[in-house]
Amino acid sequence: MVGSDLKTALENAFRLKIRKMRPVGGGDIARAYLLDTARGPVFAKLLEKDEGLDMLMAEKEGLIAISQTNTLSVPEVLGCERTESGSCLLLEYIPAAAESRSSSEDLGRGLARMHQVAGPSFGWHQPNYIGRLPQENSETRDWASFYVNRRLIPQYEMARLGRLLSPAEIPDTALMASRVSCFVADVRPSLLHGDLWGGNYLISTRGTPYLIDPATYYGHSEVDLAMSLLFGGFSKAFYAAYFEIVPKQPGFELRVKLYQLYYLLVHLNLFGRSYYSSVRTLSSELFD
């Protein structure tokens, strides 16, 4: 049963009459509820952490940025507030259905078109989060510098402080900068989802693909593809449709490994030693 205090807190914060509410899946760090309201079903995502409002506001901004590209759908943002029961993001509720070949192709084409939305520089106008970890986004015009200094180094340092990696297991900064510069020539800033694994999209009952839970910034388009390939969940039809619009470039497979290293470091810092061997293997392959 959902407590009446939570229901009252949400009603007061959003001036919304809630007839019923029930828990639903919402990810690793949030509680989520389906609300039956006068305006129809609404999805509520709650975080009780001190930084919860910042995290949800960053998610809200990412969803709005993707929506404004008119390429892929996202749930409509209905509100984001701090409540007596924690911070809450209210979203349009999207009933999900099974994926089809057609919807996979629509997702691939839509992502490719989203990646064609270019920014003035790499990064974002403010920090955001990857899972519950902070993600530094200070803008720069050099992608290799951004990726090394804003992505790899903070995660390596976090792993060192958490005693998940020893200092000897962290690549030299100058070496990383040199190698990455060789790997990623001629990159333009593309709008990214930022955390594109199989759990961060859904297919509506109308067959429309929706992106959810973004960690948005401007970066190399292949970052999203690298994450999509890390844990599976994307079909061959998705990739075929994507590459029809944005053809695969030479060196793609090596850069996929480079970008997957960031996400494996994130998982090492979030979930511990089970990701140690994957991080060490990729670090050695790329930087030894």
Q: Which residues are catalytic?
A: 195
DSSP 8-state symbol, 261: H
DSSP 8-state symbol, 252: H
H or E element in which residue 110 lies: helix 101-115
Nearest one of 55, 148, 145 to 157, comparing CA atoms: 148
At residue 253, what are phi and psi to the nearest 5 degrees?
Answer: -60, -40
DSSP, residue by residue, 117-159: -B-SSBB-SS-EEETTEEE----BS-HHHHIIIIIIHHHHHHH
Distance between CA atoms of residues 274 and 282, nearest Å: 14
Nearest one of 73, 69, 71, 181 to 119, comparing CA atoms: 69
Contact 265, 159 (CB under 8 A): yes
Contact 85, 9 (CB under 8 A): yes
What is the residue whose two structure tokens read 């190399």? 220
